[in-house]
């Protein structure tokens, strides 16, 4: 049974059955389109809110932290398993990559020869020796796979080309003979009577290496049991113990060096001369020094590094 009705969209009057809401399919489709658009807007809003939550608040929650810990733990376990199961594969990959990186260097070394003896039979036996150690940035043989060709060629310009034998002989002459000579001189000094102990230490205190040590221990000083300093620079702590450094270099006990340092700083010229000539022992002269309090001791020790 038909009756007069009103369309919910265009508000026109039409005749139809009870319960019909639209006058035509066009009005019906228009309502569907509006609902669809409303749903899509809500979905987009929810997605943006969810992304914002994940970027800001979710990062601070304990759930996120636990989830990240779980993920990192899983990654570490996976990496350990993969490394243990692929040792041969990794070694082969490293060998190939290094060989590839050093390929051009080997070809370049075939065109060179030793500048001392003229050896050029095997390129693997040729080394690069830096003319000045201060200009050295890296070891060419060990770092060929880390740097590019241009950087390595610039570093080669600072070097001599030597064969393995000539290179070892050069280092032996430069390093080991000097060390042996210096060690021999110190042993001769130490083997003499104790009267010269003060003169040995006094000579070292006037050297350049000790002045550099003083500059390194110049700022932020703290005393820990005498002549021991800690320098803190940007969170990096460096411990400098003058007694141990002198004892290791010269071969005299730390207690004796501590007494000599106090005589050097606080003693009179007459006491220093007696210690230098050996007229009296270091301990006897050290006992003659007037006793000082802790604050004054710190001031005198700090005066050593100014």
- Whether the Cβ atoms of residue 160 and residue 132 lie closer than 8 Å to each other: no
Contacts of 48 (CB under 8 A, 6+ apart): none
Q: Is the pTM of this model over 0.85?
A: no
Contact 233, 218 (CB under 8 A): no
Distance CA 212, CA 293 (A): 29
Question: CA-to-CA distance for 20 and 9, rounded, in angstroms?
Answer: 12
Token digits for 64?
Answer: 């996120």
In this predicted structure, what is the pLDDT of residue 73? 92
Strands 159-163 and 228-233: unpaired
> What value does the mean pLDDT take over residues 139-163?
84
- 160, two tokens: 């001599």
Longest dimension (CA), the chain: 140
Q: Please tell me which of 35-39, 124-128, 202-206, 279-283 the model is most confident about, judged by mean pLDDT.
A: 124-128
Residue 245 pLDDT greater than 60, yes or no: yes
For the chain, the residue count is: 306
pLDDT, tens digit (0-9, with 9 covering 90-100), for 100-129: 777 788 888 888 888 888 888 888 888 888
Count of CB atoms situated within 10 Å of the CB of 127: 20
Tens digit of pLDDT for each residue in 13-40?
877 777 788 788 888 888 888 777 776 7
């Amino acid at each position: 049974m038909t009756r007069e009705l009103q369309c919910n969209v265009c508000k026109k009057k039409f005749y139809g059955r009870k319960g019909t809401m639209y006058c035509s399919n066009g009005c019906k489709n228009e309502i569907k389109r509006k609902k669809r658009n409303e749903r899509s807007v809500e979905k987009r809003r929810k997605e943006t809110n969810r992304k914002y939550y994940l970027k800001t608040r979710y990062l601070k929650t304990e759930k996120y932290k636990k989830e990240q810990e779980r993920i990192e733990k899983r990654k570490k376990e996976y990496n350990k398993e993969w490394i243990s199961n692929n040792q041969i594969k990794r070694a082969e990959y490293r060998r190939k990559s290094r060989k590839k990186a050093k390929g051009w260097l080997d070809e370049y070394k075939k065109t060179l020869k030793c500048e001392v003896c003229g050896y050029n039979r095997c390129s693997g036996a040729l080394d690069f020796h830096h003319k000045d150690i201060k200009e050295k940035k890296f070891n060419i043989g060990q770092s060929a796979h880390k740097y590019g060709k241009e950087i390595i060629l610039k570093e080669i310009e600072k070097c001599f080309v030597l064969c393995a034998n000539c290179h070892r002989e050069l280092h032996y002459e430069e390093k080991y003979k000097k060390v042996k000579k210096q060690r021999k001189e110190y042993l001769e000094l130490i083997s003499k009577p104790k009267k010269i102990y003060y003169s040995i230490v006094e000579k070292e205190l006037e050297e350049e290496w000790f002045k550099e040590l003083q500059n390194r221990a110049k700022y932020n000083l703290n005393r820990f049991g005498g002549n021991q300093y800690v320098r803190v620079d940007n969170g990096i702590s460096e411990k400098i113990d003058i007694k141990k450094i002198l004892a290791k270099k010269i071969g005299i006990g730390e207690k004796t060096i501590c007494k000599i340092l106090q005589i050097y700083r606080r003693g009179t010229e007459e006491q220093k001369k007696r210690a230098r000539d050996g007229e009296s022992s270091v301990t006897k002269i050290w006992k003659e020094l007037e006793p000082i309090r802790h604050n004054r001791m710190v001031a005198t020790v700090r005066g050593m590094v100014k």
